[in-house]
């Protein structure tokens, strides 16, 4: 099971209305949300859940207008590595608590009817979800007795391929991709894509940057040092700077293997030169994105720089307020 702070970070994402909207639009059948007014999305408290349930519930509740009435969205985020066979019973228990709370607060619809609830289970385990999504399949049938009926909507992240997710301009799809990608360049590409989609939404950019940083630190198990960031652009720059360090490590491992195979020194120097040129190109792109088009003398300086210069200038990029500050001699 994931650590508790990872649960909290996921709940933080789905506390943003943009994530709830994208979850519905791309991962839920359209006829369930076609009447929804996304401008009316309103986060609901989960204080009705008892202490016993609270220890096991990683849920987020929203309500949204469908015409004149409210529809409730119950999103349960499942982090367990093993599939819960009785998930349908578990979700039904939570929904009954929600309905009891609505009755107590006199929030029924006209005619003392209860509002509809769309229960969603978001599962991000590695194994395919095989548990029944309806209660009826968990109960022994007797022809003389009625059988309760209840069904939740399952979103199993493992069933979506990278190609399927990359075609969607969708925050939930981007998070799914980010969680499974291992290539550093692929991670930077996803960050850049998302940053462009949500340009101008400062709080959402901050929330995503914090979540993505925590995922990277967890995946690298303490082997990656990333500064605290408050924006996706800062995270992108930090990660791009680390790519130079990763490239150096890969090169070193390659050189060590090459030595065992009798690799020539000239080939080793070629690897080092290629790495250095790649690092200079990455830094040039980051500088241009932050300070605008670069003067010709700066471009020439980057092209002629040594590896130590590139590392020093990259280290100043996040805090420097100008190009002069990046290239200062002291």
The separation between CA 109 and the C-alpha centre of its own chain, rounded to angstroms, equals 36
Phi, psi of 61 (to 5 degrees): -120, 130
Q: What is the DSSP string of 145-168?
A: S-----B-EEEEGGGS-HHHHHT-
**C-alpha dist (Å) from residue 102 to 48, 63, 112, 275:** 9, 12, 11, 61
- Answer whether residue 107 shows pLDDT above 90: no
- pLDDT, tens digit, for every residue of 276-305? 666 777 777 778 777 888 888 888 888 888
- Answer whether residue 165 shows pLDDT above 90: yes
Higher pLDDT, 286 or 76: 76
Distance CA 219, CA 232 (A): 18
- pLDDT, tens digit, for every residue of 304-330? 888 788 878 877 777 778 888 888 766
pLDDT-derived band of residue 257, with 50, 70 and 90 as boundaries? Answer: low
- pLDDT, tens digit, for every residue of 202-249? 899 999 998 988 888 887 776 777 778 888 888 888 877 776 555 555
In which residue are the tokens 């009705």 written?
Answer: 48
């Amino acid at each position: 099971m994931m650590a508790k702070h990872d649960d909290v970070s996921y709940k933080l994402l789905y506390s943003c209305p943009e994530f709830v909207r994208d979850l519905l639009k791309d991962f839920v059948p359209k006829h369930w949300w076609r009447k929804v007014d996304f401008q009316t999305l309103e986060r609901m408290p989960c204080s009705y859940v008892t202490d016993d349930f609270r220890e096991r519930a990683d849920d987020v509740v929203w309500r949204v207008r469908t015409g004149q009435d409210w529809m409730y969205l119950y999103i349960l985020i499942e982090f367990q590595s093993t599939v819960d066979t009785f998930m349908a019973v578990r979700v039904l228990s939570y929904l009954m608590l929600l309905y009891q709370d609505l009755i107590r607060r006199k929030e029924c619809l006209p005619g003392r009817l209860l509002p509809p609830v769309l229960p969603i289970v978001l599962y991000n385990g590695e194994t395919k979800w095989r548990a029944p999504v309806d209660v009826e399949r968990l109960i022994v049938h007797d022809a003389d007795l009625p059988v309760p009926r209840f069904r939740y909507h399952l979103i199993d992240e493992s069933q979506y391929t990278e190609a399927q997710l990359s075609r969607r301009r969708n925050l939930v799809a981007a998070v799914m991709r980010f969680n499974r990608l291992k290539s550093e360049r692929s991670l930077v590409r996803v960050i850049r894509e998302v940053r462009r989609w949500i340009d101008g939404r400062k709080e959402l950019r901050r929330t995503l940057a914090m979540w993505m940083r925590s995922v990277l630190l967890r995946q690298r198990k303490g082997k990656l040092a990333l500064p605290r960031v408050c924006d996706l652009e800062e995270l992108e720059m930090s990660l791009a700077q680390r790519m130079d360090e990763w490239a150096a490590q890969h090169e070193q491992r390659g050189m060590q293997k090459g030595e065992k195979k009798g690799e020539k020194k000239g080939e080793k120097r070629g690897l080092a030169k290629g790495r250095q040129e790649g690092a200079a190109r990455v830094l040039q792109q980051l500088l241009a994105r932050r300070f605008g088009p670069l003067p010709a003398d700066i471009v020439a300086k980057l092209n002629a720089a040594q590896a130590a210069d590139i590392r020093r200038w990259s280290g100043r990029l996040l805090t420097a307020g100008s190009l002069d500050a990046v290239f200062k001699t002291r």
